[in-house]
Structure 1
Amino acid sequence: MYWTEMKKIIIVVIGALLNAIAMNLFLIPANVYASGFAGLAQLLSSLFSLFTPFTISTGILLFILNVPATILAWKKVGKSFTLYSFLSVFLMSFFMEVIPVIKVSPDILLNAVFGGVIGAIGVGITLRYGASTGGMDIIAMVLSRMKDRPVGIYLFILNAAIVITAGYVYGWEKALYTLVALYAATKVVDAIHTKHNKLTALIITKKSDEMKAAIHSKLVRGITILPAKGAFTNENKEMLMIVITRYELYDLERIIKEVDPRAFTNIVETAGVFGLFRKE
């Protein structure tokens, strides 16, 4: 357990470092914007420098923007998820303050692509190990726990506002390169983790009671149990079907390995869910 948590912390550190490198060495020098709260912080920092006598770094603004999101997650999601998310945001803000803003390449397209890809690797590996990078991830988790609302529309509105403002202030060419960075980032996160917010897990095991109890102790999700029989061995087993969010996949994998390492699990991408799907 201690090694698992330590590995998770190491992944969060690496993810935060990669995000900070993407921002300070590629995106910020080229005035190309990231997705979500990072892009919003980047845009606000630029606007402060242009239209006010004050200068506030992107790292500080990113931390400030995530404070209310973290408080919301603490109340609505859970302490473990919130702590790792806050650690990720704090480390990313810290690394952004430590790493100097340097233009690695004068080519804006290279900055957009490499900034988007490197940042997405950081986000993808963080999600893969059951943590988050804060911001829109926290909002997505809160919405999935409260009501089954697609977070994509909120992320689209926020990113659209960032792109339009960047185009108005710096020229529409910058806005188009921002779209390139967002597209590259989305594809990389999808490849590393999963693009679907909902997943269906089909778990075939001979320890269904223990598995059910372990899942319910960690995840507040409904489980459907179906009889199953091995075609080759003729052994009687049971299949547990559970729909989860992508943020809960890491915890579910851990539970299955701990309860029944020999269990066969099939993770299916879920296009939609009808009926009750919430925590409360």
Structure 2
Amino acid sequence: MSEHAKKIIVVIIGAFLNAIALNFFLIPASVYSAGFTGISQLLWSISVEFLPFTIPTGLSLFLLNVPVAYLGWKKIGRSFTFYSFLSVIFMSIFLEVIPIIQVSPDILLNAVFGGVIAAIGIGFTLKWGASTGGMDIVAMVLSRMKDRPVGTYFFALNAIIIITAGMLFGWEKALYTLVQLYVSTRVIDAIHTRHEKLTAMIITKKADELKTAIHEKLVRGITVVPAKGAFTNEPKDMLIIVITRYELYDLEHVIKEVDPNAFTNVVQTTGIFGFFRKD
């Protein structure tokens, strides 16, 4: 229960930081975020500029994430999807409760600080095994269905946001949106990891127990290689498993529970050939 409570607290803090970044920095400067949050901002800007009514950012963010959450619940798993959708709910509430305040008239400062604050919230949410919903859940589903670079889908969606913003509200705002995306990406990479796929090599004396525990949490294949300690000559096993970055938290948690003395090396995986998923 304490683990769940900590996770919920991290999700709430992450959602609060994202809302602060949007309402204090990005929205007043008309600088757009990435993914579904950026789409929600864009819908709000379009409604203010061209429609007789406004579309609240928090409401549109929530509605966009409902079908994605259902897809994640069916295809990924309940735990990840639950915490991710919880993040969306709190972020939607904070966006409506926190007033929109212009902290600085400088658009570059807004883009940089908004990107940093949002990225801190996203990075720590990812690090604790959840996400901010939207494209993160889509990326998880795609990684389970097809072994293709999910970065392509992120790029395509963000390109649509930037081009639309440029055409409707001026290309200067679109260029500052690129600055915000770059800053937030770098900060998320520093807090969590920039690699979409990772290979974990686990040296353990409890290979059977660890295999069972990992398979209960993750739908990934595991290769077991006999190993021996060079200094002690103790027989051990090395478990090799390839995961996505969204599964890193669950893997770390399982290893700590089953064998805290296990030695784990996590490295970047640049490419996969062969069968990756296990459904």
TM-score of the two chains, using structure 2 as the length reference: 0.98
Partner Cα distance (1:179, 1:10) in 2: 30
Partner Cα distance (1:262, 1:121) in 2: 30
Partner Cα distance (1:14, 1:155) in 2: 24
Partner Cα distance (1:264, 1:80) in 2: 26
Q: Which position in structure 1 is the counterpart of 2:65? A: 66
Given that residues 221 and 278 in structure 2 are in contact (C-alpha distance below 8 angstroms), is that contact kept between their aligned partners in structure 1? no
**Superposition pairs of residues 67-216 of structure 1, within 5 angstroms:** 67-216=66-215
Deviation of 1:88 after TM superposition, in Å, equals: 0.2
Q: Which position in structure 2 is the counterpart of 1:226? A: 225
Deviation of 1:233 after TM superposition, in Å, equals: 1.1
Deviation of 1:279 after TM superposition, in Å, equals: 3.5
What are the ranges of 5 or more consecutive residues in structure 1 without an aligned counterpart? none
Asked if 1:38 is matched to 2:30, the reply is no
Deviation of 1:234 after TM superposition, in Å, equals: 1.2
Q: Which position in structure 2 is the counterpart of 1:29? A: 28
Q: Which position in structure 1 is the counterpart of 2:266? A: 267
Given that residues 146 and 279 in structure 1 are in contact (C-alpha distance below 8 angstroms), is that contact kept between their aligned partners in structure 2? no
Partner Cα distance (2:148, 2:260) in 1: 34
Deviation per residue, 1:244-263 (Å, 9 max, x gap) = 11111101111101111100
- Paired residues, number: 279
The one-letter code sitting in structure 2 at the alignment partner of 1:216 is H
The one-letter code sitting in structure 1 at the alignment partner of 2:56 is S
Partner Cα distance (2:153, 2:205) in 1: 42
Deviation of 1:196 after TM superposition, in Å, equals: 0.9
Partner Cα distance (1:251, 1:157) in 2: 29
Deviation of 1:9 after TM superposition, in Å, equals: 0.5
Partner Cα distance (1:88, 1:157) in 2: 24
Asked if 1:4 is matched to 2:3, the reply is yes
Q: Which position in structure 2 is the counterpart of 1:49? A: 48
Q: Which position in structure 2 is the counterpart of 1:256? A: 255
The one-letter code sitting in structure 2 at the alignment partner of 1:13 is I
Partner Cα distance (2:75, 2:203) in 1: 31
Instruction: Point out 4+ residue stretches in structure 1 off by more than 2 angstroms.
Output: none
Give the secondary structure class of the aligned counterpart of 2:264: strand
Given that residues 37 and 65 in structure 1 are in contact (C-alpha distance below 8 angstroms), is that contact kept between their aligned partners in structure 2? yes
The one-letter code sitting in structure 1 at the alignment partner of 2:87 is S
Partner Cα distance (1:226, 1:277) in 2: 18
Given that residues 16 and 88 in structure 1 are in contact (C-alpha distance below 8 angstroms), is that contact kept between their aligned partners in structure 2? yes
Moved more, 45-54 or 107-116: 45-54
Deviation of 1:149 after TM superposition, in Å, equals: 2.0
Partner Cα distance (2:29, 2:118) in 1: 15
Q: Which position in structure 2 is the counterpart of 1:241? A: 240
Q: CA RMSD in A?
A: 0.8
Deviation per residue, 1:41-84 (Å, 9 max, x gap) = 10011111211111111111111111110111111111111111
The one-letter code sitting in structure 2 at the alignment partner of 1:148 is D
Partner Cα distance (1:220, 1:159) in 2: 29
Partner Cα distance (2:215, 2:77) in 1: 15
Give the secondary structure class of the aligned counterpart of 1:222: coil
Deviation of 1:139 after TM superposition, in Å, equals: 0.2
Deviation of 1:242 after TM superposition, in Å, equals: 0.3
